[in-house]
Chain A
Amino acid sequence: MAKIRGAIVVDIEKCKGCGVCIPACPNDVLELAKEVNGKGYNYCYMKKPEECIGCANCAIVCPDGVISVYKVKVA
């Protein structure tokens, strides 16, 4: 069965660390970082990148549109 692998790229400097993306993720991939960006926000990152399926749920609820989503089929 073909497996889907996804990945997100967060525009760290524009992320405001609101955390709305975290409950939107069906696979609990996302988390807020302990580090902060230039504005002092704990930005979002993939804590379990291998479980991302590229569904883009996080990106479509992101109020600031800082998430880009990539998806690929792995044979």
Chain B
Amino acid sequence: MSEIELKDIIKKENLVYERSKVMTDNVLSFCPGCGHGTAHRLVAEVIEEMDIQSETIGVSPVGCSVLMYNFMDIDMQQAAHGRAPAVATAIKRVMPEKFVFTYQGDGDLAAIGTAETIHACNRGENITIIFINNGIYGMTGGQMAPTTLPGMPASTCPFGRDVEIMGNPLKITELISQLAGVYYVTRQSVHTPRNVRSAKKAIKKAFENQKLNRGVSFIEIVSNCNSGWKLSPVAANKWMEENMFPFYPLGDIKVDGEIVSK
């Protein structure tokens, strides 16, 4: 076996992977280990691969990912809390040839923005919605969100969510998959290489669906919030596998307008 020096491997012609050029050089504002960064990068990679950087308009939400326009080198609009699908509707209707996506967290999409989400989906707007579900309000200090699991502690329910008092968690992804205007619904995660590859395929499919003009493509990404959950990044990913995935099972829910039977 011939020996090879590191400096002979690290050459431009041997490069197989680097951060997407559709992302800016700014350091991401997220906590260490947060799935938002991976999800941002996947969106950027899909835009780069499809070569639609100049034709894509993103709508960022209120929440941790509010500064998405700082990190993505594309046209972006920041929407009022929960109103991203309404803003995306307007952008897509004015410029139907553009690729329009919203990027929202669970507090934005499933709480204050429930009406906008459901009605944009029901109208069958030809947009892509990327929904990051970490079961908590991450940015404001880990309060209980509609998606918080039964028994899961949060800063406003330190002894765990009691469904008798606080109600049941909302599976908004299953809810909107019932609507006729929705063309593609899937649930993914970004904590292991396999899941990242699968999530990237789903995001690519969602963007390609916009060419077909069939309706909303909705991607839920179950993510961690290690700061809000008070765990280390690696432990948070493990906790997510053990607790989030049984309640929010990964996989396609609706493909090409047909509900996938399970």
Q: Which A residues have a C-beta under 8 Å from some C-beta of B?
A: 3, 5-7, 9, 14, 16-20, 22-24, 41, 49, 54, 56-57, 59-72, 74-75
B200 CB to closest chain A CB, in angstroms? 8
The 9 closest A-B pairs by CB, nearest first: A63-B37, A18-B33, A16-B32, A18-B32, A65-B19, A69-B17, A57-B193, A18-B233, A56-B17
Report chain A residues within 8 Å CB of B28: 63-64
Cβ-defined contact, A72 with B232, below 8 A? no
Which residue of chain A lies nearest to B19 when distances are taken between CB atoms in the complex? A65
Report chain B residues within 8 Å CB of A62: 37-38
Cβ-defined contact, B32 with A61, below 8 A? no
Report chain A residues within 8 Å CB of B191: 20, 61
Report chain A residues within 8 Å CB of B233: 18-20
Which residue of chain B lies nearest to A6 when distances are taken between CB atoms in the complex? B9
Report chain A residues within 8 Å CB of B237: 20
- A5–B1 CA distance with the chains assembled, in angstroms: 11
Assuming the contacts A41-B32, A63-B38, A72-B4, asked whether A20 and B234 have C-beta atoms less than 8 A apart, the reply is yes
Cβ-defined contact, B41 with A65, below 8 A? yes
Cβ-defined contact, B8 with A72, below 8 A? yes
Which residue of chain B lies nearest to A74 when distances are taken between CB atoms in the complex? B4
- A7–B2 CA distance with the chains assembled, in angstroms: 16
Cβ-defined contact, B17 with A59, below 8 A? yes
Report chain A residues within 8 Å CB of B36: 63
Cβ-defined contact, A64 with B27, below 8 A? yes
Report chain B residues within 8 Å CB of A49: 6
Is B93 at the interface (CB under 8 A from chain A)?
Answer: no
B19 CB to closest chain A CB, in angstroms? 4
Which residue of chain A lies nearest to B197 when distances are taken between CB atoms in the complex? A60
Cβ-defined contact, B234 with A61, below 8 A? no
Assuming the contacts A19-B33, A56-B16, A72-B4, asked whether A61 and B192 have C-beta atoms less than 8 A apart, the reply is yes
Which of the listed residues B9, B14, B192 has the most CB atoms from chain A within 10 Å of its own CB? B9
Known: A5-B4, A7-B9. 8 other contacts (CB 8 A): A6-B16, A16-B31, A17-B32, A20-B234, A20-B237, A56-B17, A71-B9, A75-B2
Cβ-defined contact, B18 with A68, below 8 A? yes
* Contact partner, B33, options A20, A56, A71, Cβ 8 Å: A20
